[in-house]
């Protein structure tokens, strides 16, 4: 399959599996990836996802330009239908970890930017190179990159199409960790396990408060976070968390 899904416990492992094409996305893989995100979103057993690419060279290099046919409809029809098939399924409050194992270029970097936690191998490279082929980052990259990097660095990448290496990405805060390629998935599994072992409703509320709060004035964000705290206060999981702490045992979360 062009995109693989494996669920282990409460963790979904999603692999872009076209290493012969640097894990570029053709129409079939785009459709499959969106199906997977919707499955992850709707499966209550899944609490966190890890997204990576197959092979040692590439996370994802965006659209497969060689195998993507020219559009058959007007741009107006595509735009007004909100045609972004990769990202809509990613819009969920369950966390997504990007394990970036090589090139994250074009749409590949945009997909990584839509994830909540990004870790990389030492051979990772990051870039939005669309200006080199007379195009534009079409999956929100022009908006997300300046929010993820210092403005000067983001503008340099957007306007020149130049890429940055893993150590630069770490220095600028684009990724949280850089490890040897052999250790990347182990680290991803470690983070995923910690998230999956936390109370699922609390994790999702924390993501929602952080993501939405960034677009609010501080006092509004604080008020929204306090509202979410109140929503969580009477959940069964919060009662279980307090009880398990008092009894010195591992809590059994129900997501309720």
62-118 pLDDT, tens digit each:
987 666 655 666 655 655 555 555 566 688 999 999 999 999 999 999 999 999 999
Identify the pLDDT of residue 87. Answer: 64
In angstroms, the CA 105 to CA 162 distance is 10
Question: CB neighbours of 86 closer than 8 A, spacing ≥ 6?
Answer: 25, 30, 33, 34, 107, 110, 111, 139
**More reliable by pLDDT, 95 or 135:** 95
Average pLDDT over residues 195-205: 97
Tell me: do 88 and 23 sit in the same domain. yes
Q: So which residues are the catalytic ones?
A: 110, 130
Provide the percentage of residues in the chain whose pLDDT is more than 70.
Answer: 90
Number of domains present in the structure of the chain: 2
Average pLDDT over residues 156-161: 97
Average pLDDT over residues 48-64: 94
Q: Is residue 101 part of a domain?
A: yes
Instruction: Give the range of the structural domain holding residue 242, as residue numbers without chain letter.
Output: 199-247
Question: CB neighbours of 154 closer than 8 A, spacing ≥ 6?
Answer: 145, 146, 148
In angstroms, the CA 152 to CA 185 distance is 31
Asked if pLDDT for residue 175 goes beyond 80, the answer is yes
From residue 120, give the alpha-carbon distance in Å to each of 95, 125, 168, 186.
17, 9, 11, 12
Tell me: do 173 and 223 sit in the same domain. no
8 Å CB contact between 101 and 13: no
CA-based end-to-end distance of the chain: 35
What order of strands is seen across the sheet that includes strand 164-165? Answer: 58-60, 103-105, 125-127, 164-165
Beta strands in 102-175 (DSSP E): 103-105, 117-121, 125-127, 164-165
Task: Using alpha carbons, select from 49, 54, 50 the residue that is nearest to residue 16.
Answer: 54
Q: Name the CA radius of gyration of the chain, rounded.
A: 19
Tell me: do 99 and 175 sit in the same domain. yes
8 Å CB contact between 145 and 139: no
> pTM of the full predicted structure?
0.92
Q: What is the DSSP letter of 131?
A: G
Q: Is residue 73 part of a domain?
A: yes
**More reliable by pLDDT, 12 or 80:** 12
8 Å CB contact between 42 and 35: no
Tell me the CATH number at 230: 1.10.12.10
pLDDT bin (cut points 50, 70, 90) of residue 133 is confident
Tell me: do 19 and 145 sit in the same domain. yes
Picking from 24-33, 81-90, 120-129, 206-215, which range would have the lowest pLDDT averaged per residue?
81-90
Identify the pLDDT of residue 140. Answer: 86
Read off the tokens for 114. Answer: 């839509």
Identify the pLDDT of residue 46. Answer: 97
Tell me: do 71 and 180 sit in the same domain. yes
8 Å CB contact between 141 and 113: yes
Tell me: do 34 and 98 sit in the same domain. yes
Read off the tokens for 98. Answer: 């990007």
Give per-residue burial for 73-101: e unless 16+ CB within 10 Å, then b.
eeeeeeeeeeebbbbebbebbbbbbbbbb
Tell me: do 131 and 235 sit in the same domain. no
Q: How many CB atoms lie within 10 A of CB 6?
A: 10
Average pLDDT over residues 33-51: 95
Identify the pLDDT of residue 83. Answer: 52
Asked if pLDDT for residue 174 goes beyond 90, the answer is yes
Q: Is residue 70 part of a domain?
A: yes
Tell me: do 52 and 136 sit in the same domain. yes
């Amino acid at each position: 399959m062009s995109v693989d899904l494996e669920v282990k416990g409460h963790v979904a492992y999603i692999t872009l599996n076209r290493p012969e094409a640097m894990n570029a996305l053709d129409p079939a893989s785009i459709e499959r990836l969106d199906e997977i995100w919707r499955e992850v979103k709707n499966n209550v057993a899944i609490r966190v996802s890890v997204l990576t690419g197959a092979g040692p060279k590439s996370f994802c290099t965006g659209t497969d330009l060689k195998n993507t046919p020219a559009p058959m409809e007007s741009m107006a029809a595509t735009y007004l239908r909100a045609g972004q098939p990769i990202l809509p399924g990613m819009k969920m409050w369950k966390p997504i970890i990007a394990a970036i194992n090589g090139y994250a270029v074009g749409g590949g970097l945009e997909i990584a930017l839509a994830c909540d936690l990004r870790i990389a191998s030492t051979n990772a490279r990051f870039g939005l190179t669309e200006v080199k082929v007379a195009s534009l980052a079409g999956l929100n990259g022009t908006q997300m990159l300046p929010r993820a990097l210092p403005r000067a660095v983001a503008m340099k990448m957007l306007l020149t199409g130049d890429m940055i290496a893993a150590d630069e990405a770490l220095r600028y805060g684009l990724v949280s960790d850089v490890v040897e390629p052999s250790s990347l998935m182990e680290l991803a599994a470690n983070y995923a396990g910690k998230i999956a072992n936390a109370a699922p409703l609390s994790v999702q509320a924390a993501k929602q408060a952080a993501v939405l709060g960034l677009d609010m004035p501080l006092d509004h964000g604080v008020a929204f976070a306090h509202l979410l705290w109140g929503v969580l206060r009477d959940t069964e999981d919060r009662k279980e968390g307090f009880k398990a702490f008092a009894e010195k045992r591992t809590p059994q979360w129900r997501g309720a």
